[in-house]
Structure 1
């Protein structure tokens, strides 16, 4: 890695990338690789405003899941390092087709996604994963998050099977090593301040940056980086309470930040201000999850990282402070619901809720999210005891109402079982075990995995809304990842965009694992086309 010196910024560069997460590194690696393949020494600079100790942006805080089209187990086995021949014989993994992925995009975004962007993402997804693997990104089959062991078989579910080794932390380390191998220069403590363009053509000419030189007593300097192409990959505005309240709505300034505190949206505002970049996507929408209520409010924890996620809700029920259920915990496979339930929790009194399980559901909870070291658990031998504890110390307003809610839920579950004795509980598929029957139906259904909550001991976890990334961003050309001008409706010469800054892919919700795949897919395209511009 190059030294963090202002003098380095004054060199002539081919491509400058703003943002050092999965998308930014994918773009930088792609640009350097393309330039080298064309016989040019790559002069690719990646700048990030965070200190190196916070490298990786939001990508560091992910579980490293990547959704892609594949042809079943034979297609993905060559990519992974955690399956031997004996284990492979015990895996059930159906192909995930282009039509499957597009159908998931259509369903979870309610048909609002940009068709051209979506098809590009889907059709490139398999080759993008294999390209990352070719650059040393270590993949594994995600047994812990995407498979249940049913008998002696590992059954993968939800259309997704791959994750990076060591999650987001491993992904970022692999990206940094790959960037070093292809000759990318990385500078931290270097924040973008303004984008300079040619007054006649509108083409990119330079990036004004503010650099904190840690090697020289922390001297702060402002420099213009001259380059032929600019790639914007600086994330959304999820860590900016003002912008969250402004765009997402009332109360969103109180949500907890899941990831980096450095994604504060100023590069989005800069692109709109300096480039007149066209805005796109769902600006009042975001990815938000059930998150540990005891977590820090304004930043993710780099040690605990994604373990604050609490996605075991399909295995139990979720209750608000009034003692009432407020969403269908079994409406769909977790991959297609977890990114929108944070919003539902934030809308409840106090912006908190309680996840509840009995002794049947507790053993199925994933250890990395619910182990004793990372979450505070409230126990009770009876549901009445648990409700009283929640009322005494956790903010529950009506213990008796919670008990009544659980009893009513259990009655509905048992009534459905009486009518559908042939159905078997199976967390790897939508098993049809519901609360809705001809004799009893709840106002808010649980459509699948409706186990009765009646076998003590019982356990509750207090959760809040954790915001991951925002859906509003810039309009890009799907083929090139070029940023579209609001003035001309065409691509701005020399400016590209990828990652969370791209608008138009996700609305209200997203298929789990498609965020990282999108960042790498359009990052790769941005790098290729930025390098082509340099060559031209």
Structure 2
């Protein structure tokens, strides 16, 4: 019998598999996707938010624990488990050497990635290189990896894991029979439900305009996170955390593919101009804070607009100050022509821009700092980086909500155990997006998802191995955190 079964194939699952195997347990990893699409949402990532008290290799200056915590507290509005959050924060300061030992390489941030040279360590080759390195290391250590293997059911005995069930399926044109896989312990790391259109519709419902907002969502993450295992765990009575409508939701290019657009579909010029809805009206402060701390609120903001549609508008002054999008913007030499091309109400659009221009109080523009360029007497205000849009050509980028991962998940504790009626399972653990809602009640800040996944993936792997007699004692908290 397998000692530890890992269900999932992203960063958290791989960290769990590697730690359990390093502890001496036999490990099998089940990945729902084909090999070419392995890695879950981790393949679309590019960095890890890291606590550090002094400069460390690719990280400059310092990013101490309390500042990290305050950044997380701000974006979540306080909807976070401080104990679990601080575990992830502290673990982020010391995990990189372990990551390097499994083939992950780091590099300084690209010049267009503003404000994160101090806080985020970037993966050389991005998330795809990271998951490939982990898979290579896992296989080298003897972890058995199976692809095209969607777990459809979990067998429990009074909260204790017994077996995973895999349904009948077609793989490369061949019929594969249903299976039952027993293991002495299990780690659930199979992601959220963002690719389940029916579940999104159920969660978001209809708005006051009679629209079904989720019908217009794009999924910038993996198409394989359909929430089958999460739904089953809810049915089995696992304790739950999070709001099904909360997610890492970004305003992305409306022309992006329905699934797997990844990070390149993001539009990063929002703070350099204004954003209008399809009625030609602004609806939120584009200069509220640095973009890495605010980019993930804009998907939800756009989701609240008519048709779940908006447009980021800039002028020539912004060019060269942000990472260029994949698709070119709509360009025009006049605001009237831009409105015509976008099919926006021309008079209202021009008035919106002119009102904004007239309200700008330009001081010393500096997009690398919280500058003193702001609006006055305008609602909503723009509190930083406010400059009149007066230099043609003008550019527009269409925006829609892009869901990376959902926050509804399984409640857990510092051991990463799954809970049933407040009682921790002795051999069933959870990591990654399936438990990220414990830390992320809402909002997001760049790189925190990988910090949570790495920390709790490693904890889950250690604890799963320990629950079946390998490595530390499951109750030995001090040893566990020294290891992780």
| TM-score scaled by length of structure 2 | 0.92
Q: Which runs of structure 2 are paired with 1:426-441 in the superposition (5 Å)?
A: 426-436=366-376, 441=377
Task: Report the CA distance between 1:214 and its aligned residue.
Answer: 4.1
Is the Cα–Cα contact under 8 Å of residues 129 and 517 in structure 1 kept in the other structure? no
The alignment of Structure 1 onto Structure 2 pairs a total of residues equal to: 463
Q: Which residue number in structure 2 is paired with residue 103 of structure 1?
A: 70
Whether 1:193 and 2:152 are equivalent positions in the alignment is yes
What runs of 5+ residues in structure 1 fail to find an aligned partner? 1-11, 36-41, 81-92, 148-155, 418-422
Task: Report the CA distance between 1:33 and its aligned residue.
Answer: 1.2
Q: Secondary structure at the match of 1:363?
A: coil
Q: Which residue number in structure 1 is paired with residue 250 of structure 2?
A: 289
Is the Cα–Cα contact under 8 Å of residues 159 and 420 in structure 2 kept in the other structure? no
The structure-2 alpha-carbon separation of the partners of 1:159 and 1:325, relative to structure 1 and needing over 3 Å to count, comes to farther
Task: Report the CA distance between 1:52 and its aligned residue.
Answer: 1.4
CA distance in 1, matches of 2:285, 2:354: 17
Among 312, 320, 331, the residue aligned to 2:269: 312
RMSD over aligned CA atoms reads: 1.8
CA distance in 2, matches of 1:432, 1:518: 34
Is the Cα–Cα contact under 8 Å of residues 138 and 174 in structure 1 kept in the other structure? no
Q: Which residue number in structure 2 is paired with residue 300 of structure 1?
A: 260
Whether 1:477 and 2:413 are equivalent positions in the alignment is yes
Whether 1:255 and 2:217 are equivalent positions in the alignment is yes
* 1:33-78 deviation per Cα after TM superposition (whole angstroms, max 9, x unaligned): 121xxxxxx421110121112111111122x1210101343x134x
Whether 1:352 and 2:352 are equivalent positions in the alignment is no
Q: Which runs of structure 2 are paired with 1:52-451 in the superposition (5 Å)?
A: 52-62=35-45, 64-73=46-55, 75-77=56-58, 93-147=60-114, 156-157=115-116, 160-198=119-157, 201-210=158-167, 212=169, 214=171, 218-250=174-206, 251-274=213-236, 276-297=237-258, 299-301=259-261, 305-367=262-324, 370=325, 374-391=326-343, 396=344, 398-413=345-360, 416-417=361-362, 423-436=363-376, 441-451=377-387
CA distance in 1, matches of 2:175, 2:394: 56
Task: Report the CA distance between 1:508 and its aligned residue.
Answer: 2.4
Is the Cα–Cα contact under 8 Å of residues 241 and 254 in structure 1 kept in the other structure? no
Q: Secondary structure at the match of 2:439?
A: coil
Q: Which residue number in structure 2 is paired with residue 6 of structure 1?
A: none
Is the Cα–Cα contact under 8 Å of residues 379 and 459 in structure 1 kept in the other structure? yes
Is the Cα–Cα contact under 8 Å of residues 190 and 434 in structure 2 kept in the other structure? yes
Q: Which residue number in structure 1 is paired with residue 473 of structure 2?
A: none
Task: Report the CA distance between 1:521 and its aligned residue.
Answer: 0.7
Q: Secondary structure at the match of 2:446?
A: coil
Task: Report the CA distance between 1:145 and its aligned residue.
Answer: 4.5
CA distance in 1, matches of 2:234, 2:220: 26
Is the Cα–Cα contact under 8 Å of residues 276 and 310 in structure 2 kept in the other structure? yes
Q: Secondary structure at the match of 2:445?
A: coil
Q: Secondary structure at the match of 1:389?
A: helix
Task: Report the CA distance between 1:306 and its aligned residue.
Answer: 2.0
CA distance in 2, matches of 1:128, 1:471: 24
CA distance in 2, matches of 1:192, 1:145: 40
The structure-2 alpha-carbon separation of the partners of 1:25 and 1:317, relative to structure 1 and needing over 3 Å to count, comes to same
Task: Report the CA distance between 1:535 and its aligned residue.
Answer: 1.4
CA distance in 2, matches of 1:211, 1:533: 31
* 1:4-56 deviation per Cα after TM superposition (whole angstroms, max 9, x unaligned): xxxxxxxx211111110111111111111121xxxxxx421110121112111
Task: Report the CA distance between 1:247 and its aligned residue.
Answer: 2.2
Q: Which residue number in structure 2 is paired with residue 5 of structure 1?
A: none
What runs of 5+ residues in structure 2 fail to find an aligned partner? 207-212, 471-484
CA distance in 1, matches of 2:243, 2:171: 38
The structure-2 alpha-carbon separation of the partners of 1:387 and 1:247, relative to structure 1 and needing over 3 Å to count, comes to same
The structure-2 alpha-carbon separation of the partners of 1:145 and 1:267, relative to structure 1 and needing over 3 Å to count, comes to farther
Task: Report the CA distance between 1:159 and its aligned residue.
Answer: 5.2
The structure-2 alpha-carbon separation of the partners of 1:243 and 1:158, relative to structure 1 and needing over 3 Å to count, comes to farther
CA distance in 2, matches of 1:338, 1:292: 13
The structure-2 alpha-carbon separation of the partners of 1:268 and 1:292, relative to structure 1 and needing over 3 Å to count, comes to same
Q: Which residue number in structure 2 is paired with residue 495 of structure 1?
A: 428
| TM-score scaled by length of structure 1 | 0.83
